[in-house]
Chains A and B, each alone.
Chain A
Amino acid sequence: MNQAGSVGLIAAMAFAIYAVVAGVAGGKLRSVRITRSAGRATLAFFVMVTLAVVSLETLIFSNDFHNAYVATHSNRALPFYYKFAVMWGGQGGSLLFWTWLLSIYAAIAVLLNRRKNRQLMPYAISFMMGVGVFFSVVTFFGANPFKELALAAGGTTTPFTPPDGNGLNPALQYPAMMIHPVMLYLGYVGMAIPFAFGMAALVTKQLGDNWIRVTRRWTMVPWMFLGFGILLGGHWAYDVLGWGGYWMWDPVENASLLPWLAGTAFLHSVMVQERRGMLKVWNVVLVILTFFLAILGDFLTRSGIVQSVHAFAQSGIGDYFIVFLSIVVLFSATLLFLRLDFLKSENRLDSVVSRESGFLFNNWILLALVFAVLWGTVFPIISKAVEHKTITVGPPFFNKVAVPMGLMLLFLTGAGPLLAWRKTSFDSLKRNFTVPLVIGGLVGGVLFLAGVRNLYSWMSLFLGSFVAACVLGEFYKGARTRQRGSGENFLQAIYNLTARNTRRYGGYIVHIGIVLIFVGFAGLPFKTHAKGLMQEGDVLRSGPYLLRCDWLTSGDTPDYTYREATLSVLKDGKAFTTLTPQRRFYKASQQPISHVAIHQSLAEDLYVVLAGRDQGTGKDVIEVFVNPLVDWVWIGGAIMVLGTLLALIPSRAEREMAQIRQVQWEMLEEKNAL
């Protein structure tokens, strides 16, 4: 099975290399048959990587501890559903999984474009498979998950099979961990596809509207996965790490945020190109940057170059990444430079106050944010190289630098869509801004009087209500306008409005999600914390909550032993709920972990951790956090995903246009065939 996996990987590598060459040849010669062959090689790449993945999964599920990867990351007692997670529990498996996801994306791209974008495709295949070559090489040579264990004794090595494995990292044995890494990887890897199309457009000089339309969709999908993955990661951290929060500006978290921010910038500035034929160079730069940051993020987290709570194994794969990243930068920069002439703007700006400049400001802050987060993340490395001293750049730095920028972005989230394209006079400005500003001001005033005195919280809520008013106003005004023309009722009008322009209104829904997430952030400064040593019958008070320890029990399962506290909670003297936090000790990996008990509500979460046992007194340590508004972060995130999905549905007009284009292509093809 180990050999089968290796053979699968090597064959995949060979097909990928062939696809790169055939893609270039097909593009250069404009040959249909060579291009078709390159496309088939992409599918073959997918099949072979799939076989490698099947091999690894078989090894995992059959508890074959002769395989080094399985021995270090799995064990017999691991429940079968977590055995899937072993795939991304370690370096080699993760890289193989990346390669597999890339192969899926590439195969879909090839299948969807059999009759479309015929000139872009050969080069797009080359670039996608170039990335494929890189990942299969890193997987095979850098961190092969198909290595076998052997004992070296007296100059000879004998195969070795331990009776049981070391087990999966307990932090990964959690339901969200079944999908969080998958989503995150789908986000990272998927950025290779827009990159490939962008580069193909540069090579073929087909820099009109085509590649932008293809790329926008191909960016939106991984962007959505990435955002969802980040959110699930936050949710996981909240549920598992037991410090009552969801984001700590850890390098690994930052690394996932960077491509998301750059992708967000691209998804916005792309509209300026579609609508006005401007910012062409900039869009290419953003596509390249997004891909670069996705790979860089992988490099930062997987190579162990930065210190992180995620504690991935240090390894030698860093060199592969450095080489690859250099190639990407050099190649794309050169190509971009050679094509600058083809990227001239089609239009001009009429007024400084316009949607176009709104997008520019949005890009400005997003990119500054990218820089600030990246800079803070890598600064310890720089400082070490220059000053030879170890420093840390942690939450206080990022909070100070990133939060103000985040608030500016929040403002633009609402203000941008209110600006008209090309030119917005003061009169129009006033028309659109008066109501939202008044609503925001009212909410802000009420909050201030109600005692919200934390600046950032107040700003989040004030700006949040302003943005909500802006966005809902867009829906309201749009629907009223439709009603006047069509006689539909309000709900019908809202529905038709959205269906007619899914992109715009889907985008607005994403903006609402952003607002809700900021509402969640606004609760952060009001978090409270209490800690107590408890025995059965002891009580602990935190704010309006009174926790009484009813029972303390211990137990044993094949995978772990645990201790559990049963706490009845009173709120303002009335019975409220019962919570049962656990502390587990995993046998195979010899690691403890807390399973937090949370009582969720829209206003606040009651979050209880059984942190362990105090050595001095032998009592159990209970920590209680009261986290206001946390749930809004998850709700906002879910709404963002829904909004993106809505925006991905082609609207009726788009479908019509797509059909017209398809007919045109087919006519051209027939003409060529004659």
Chain B
Amino acid sequence: MFLGLVFVIAAALCVFVAYPLLSTQDDGKAVLPVDMTPAADLKRRRMVVYDNMRDLEFERQAKKIGETDYQALRESYRAEAARLMAASQELERGSAEDRFIENQVAARRARVKAAAPANYACKKCGFNNPVPVKYCGNCGSPLPKA
């Protein structure tokens, strides 16, 4: 009896395990998101520095640490945070430039695409060439210049 139950449960679990593979919910193309982008990593490193600074402040108030140590460490933490902040801004600027270039490329492509059907269709065989060409990709007859 129990043996039968074990078999039934095992079969049910097979379905349970296989189900995500068969589901058509997301075309099966959904990609695992990254856990940490470079920007996020820089940010969390800054957070750590801030944490360190907060602790340093607390240690000074608790008189655990001497004034000279405090000043020196605080300065170097600040410098570290500033360096990380500069890197972040650099990255952002970089990605802004990337975005600009991407937009430009996309716009150009769209323009080309919009123009394509009229200019690259072969008059002889009727084949619609996807890119600007001198000769038809299907029958080889010369095409008029765009």
B48 near A3: Cβ-Cβ < 8 Å: no
B16 near A33: Cβ-Cβ < 8 Å: no
Interface positions of B from 53 to 97, Cβ below 8 Å from A: 55-56, 58-59, 61-66, 68-69, 72-73, 76
Interface hit among B23-31, B103-111, B136-144: B23-31
B13 within 8 A of A: yes
Which residue from B9, B20, B66, B73 sits with its C-beta under 8 Å from A51?
B9
- Compute how far the CA of A206 lies from the CA of B33 in the bound complex, rounded to whole angstroms: 13
**22 A-B contact pairs sorted by A residue (CB < 8 Å):** A31-B28, A31-B31, A33-B28, A34-B20, A35-B32, A48-B9, A118-B33, A119-B32, A120-B35, A121-B32, A209-B45, A274-B48, A277-B48, A350-B76, A421-B52, A422-B76, A427-B69, A432-B64, A484-B61, A668-B33, A668-B37, A672-B32
A672 near B33: Cβ-Cβ < 8 Å: yes
A423 near B69: Cβ-Cβ < 8 Å: yes
- Which chain A residue shows the least CB distance to B22? A33
B10 near A48: Cβ-Cβ < 8 Å: yes
- Which chain B residue shows the least CB distance to A204? B35
- Compute how far the CA of A30 lies from the CA of B5 in the bound complex, rounded to whole angstroms: 36
Can you list, as one digit per residue, whether each of B110-123 has a CB less than 8 Å from chain A (1) or not (0)? 00000000000000
**Given A208-B36, A210-B35, A481-B62, does the pair A37, B45 have CB atoms closer than 8 Å?**
no
Interface residues of B (CB under 8 A from A): 2-3, 5-7, 9-10, 13-14, 16-21, 23, 26, 28, 30-37, 40-41, 44-45, 47-48, 51-52, 55-56, 58-59, 61-66, 68-69, 72-73, 76
Main secondary structure of the interface of B (DSSP, over half): helix
- Compute how far the CA of A512 lies from the CA of B51 in the bound complex, rounded to whole angstroms: 25
Which residue from A31, A34, A420 sits with its C-beta under 8 Å from B59?
A420
- Compute how far the CA of A428 lies from the CA of B33 in the bound complex, rounded to whole angstroms: 46
CB distance from B20 to the nearest CB of A (A): 4
- Compute how far the CA of A671 lies from the CA of B31 in the bound complex, rounded to whole angstroms: 11
B30 near A673: Cβ-Cβ < 8 Å: yes
Can you list, as one digit per residue, whether each of A47-64 has a CB less than 8 Å from chain B (1) or not (0)? 110010001001000000
Can you list, as one digit per residue, whether each of A23-50 has a CB less than 8 Å from chain B (1) or not (0)? 0001100111111110011011001100
Chain A residues near B58: list those with CB within 8 A: 478, 481
Which residue from A48, A55, A423, A477 sits with its C-beta under 8 Å from B63?
A477
Interface size, A (range): 35 or more
**Given A119-B32, A484-B61, A664-B40, does the pair A427, B2 have CB atoms closer than 8 Å?**
no
Please give 17 more A-B residue pairs, beta carbons under 8 A apart, in addition to A30-B32, A421-B56: A4-B6, A11-B10, A11-B13, A47-B13, A117-B35, A118-B32, A275-B52, A425-B68, A431-B64, A431-B66, A657-B47, A664-B40, A665-B33, A669-B33, A672-B31, A672-B32, A673-B26
Interface positions of A from 228 to 285, Cβ below 8 Å from B: 274-275, 277
Which residue from A26, A31, A40, A672 sits with its C-beta under 8 Å from B16?
A40
B32 near A122: Cβ-Cβ < 8 Å: yes
